[in-house]
Chain A
Amino acid sequence: MARYSSSKNILQQRRGLTAIDAITALIVILLVVQIWLLSATLEAYLAGHTETALPGAIVSGVLCAVCFVMYGFVRSVDRDSRPDQ
């Protein structure tokens, strides 16, 4: 019974690791998009085009919120896959 429980835990941990890896990769992609967005907005601002600042900030805010949601998901997956702690 103890062995079954242990192997179940390991399986759960592996699944958790895979999920965390996938979410981290998504966060990296969103971060790269945000870096590009910031550089493009800054470039436009320095060129005297201020009209891009508001859409840039809104999109960046949405991406940041998505990152936080995904980080919350990482935390919950991490917590769930460690039933013994």
Chain B
Amino acid sequence: MFDRVKEREPLWREEFSISKADERYVNRRQLAKFLTLGSLGMFAGNLWILGRSWMRKARVYHRSPIARAGEIPVGGVKLFQYPHPGEQCIMVRTGEDTYVAYSQKCTHLSCAVFYSREENRLECPCHKGYFSVTDGSVLQGPPTRPLPRVVLERNGDDLIAIKMEPEV
């Protein structure tokens, strides 16, 4: 009986004896394998973050005078570099006696933020991310994390940067 069935089948089927059902079967197994390897990749990513967290040392911040009180007008800004040269920060005088300072690097894609006096907020021109000038929190846009704040201390007429929160 088998021989009779075989006789009726075209020649090409005999030469390319690949079963379509079997092909599908193998493909599903390959998909499962691919997904499992993807899962392994995700685990490796988490391990990498864990390793970085363990190797991360608490940063030591130095005290650095950045401006003199009254040096800039109310609503004015001053750019400075803290804690290291090249790490740009922005200080805003929001009131007669209030000064706030943040890292100038947007937490989305690291564009430089600027202070908008009209809107009283820090704005990122790249993707319209807006931050509160009061505490650096995100008001609008793609950034999900607040701007790192530079803690300031007033010593007489000097404004001194002490550290950053959170540590960067």
- Cβ-defined contact, B28 with A50, below 8 A: no
CB-CB < 8 A to B22: which residues of A?
82
In addition to A17-B25, A41-B46, 19 A-B residue pairs with Cβ atoms within 8 Å of each other are A24-B31, A24-B32, A34-B39, A38-B42, A42-B49, A43-B145, A45-B52, A45-B53, A46-B107, A46-B145, A47-B166, A48-B148, A54-B53, A57-B43, A60-B43, A60-B46, A61-B43, A67-B36, A74-B32
- Cβ-defined contact, B28 with A31, below 8 A: no
Q: How many A-B residue pairs have CB under 8 A?
A: 108
Tell me the B1-15 residues at the A interface (CB within 8 Å).
1-2
Most B CB contacts (10 A, CB to CB) among A24, A67, A78 go to: A67
- Cβ-defined contact, B39 with A30, below 8 A: yes
How many A residues touch the partner, as a band? Answer: 35 or more
CB-CB < 8 A to A61: which residues of B?
43, 46-47
| Chain A binding surface SS class | helix
Residues of A near any B CB (own CB < 8 A)? 2, 13, 16-17, 20-21, 23-24, 27-28, 30-31, 34-35, 37-38, 41-43, 45-50, 53-54, 56-57, 60-61, 63-64, 67-68, 70-71, 74-75, 78, 82
